[in-house]
Amino acid sequence: MAELKSEGVNLAAVCQITATEDKKKTFSSCRRVIETACKMGAEMVFLPEACDYIQRSPADSVRYAEGMDGPTMSAFKQLAKEHKVWLSIGGFHEKNPEDDSKMLNTHVILDDRGDVVSRYSKTHLFSVDIQGQFKLDERDCCTPGKTIVPPVDTPLGKVGLGICYDLRFPEFSMMLTRQGAEILTFPSAFTIPTGMAHWEPLLRSRAIENQCYVIAAAQTGKHNDGRASYGHAMIVDPWGAVVAHCSEGEGVAVAQIDHGYLQKVRTSMPVWDHRRTDLYPTF
Is residue 222 part of the annotated active site? The answer reads no
Distances from the Cα of 80 to the Cα of 24, 187, 252, 283, angstroms: 17, 18, 17, 36
Could you give the angle at the alpha carbon of 250 between the alpha carbons of 112 and 168, nearest 5°?
Answer: 80
SS3 (DSSP) at 167: helix
CA distances from 140 to 59, 60, 66, 145 (A): 8, 11, 18, 15
Asked whether 219 and 126 are in contact (CB, 8 A), the reply is no
Stated as kind and residue range, the H or E segment containing 24 is: helix 23-39
Among the listed residues 164, 182, 212, 246, the single catalytic one is 164
Is there a catalytic annotation at residue 264? no
Residue 164 is a catalytic residue: yes
3-state secondary structure of 80: helix
Q: Among residues 5, 23, 102, 122, which one is catalytic? A: 122
Give backbone dihedrals phi and psi of 260, rounded to 5 degrees, phi first: -65, -40
Q: Which of 23, 38, 49, 51 is catalytic?
A: 49
Give long-range contacts, CB 8 A cutoff, 24+ apart: 122-131.
122/91, 122/163, 122/164, 122/165, 122/166, 123/147, 123/148, 123/166, 123/172, 124/165, 124/166, 124/168, 124/169, 124/172, 125/165, 126/164, 126/165, 128/191, 128/194, 130/193, 130/194
How are the residues of the chain apportioned to helix, strand and coil, as percentages rounded to the nearest 5? 30, 30, 40
Alpha-helical segments (H) within 93-233: 170-178, 192-210
Q: Which residues are catalytic?
A: 49, 122, 164
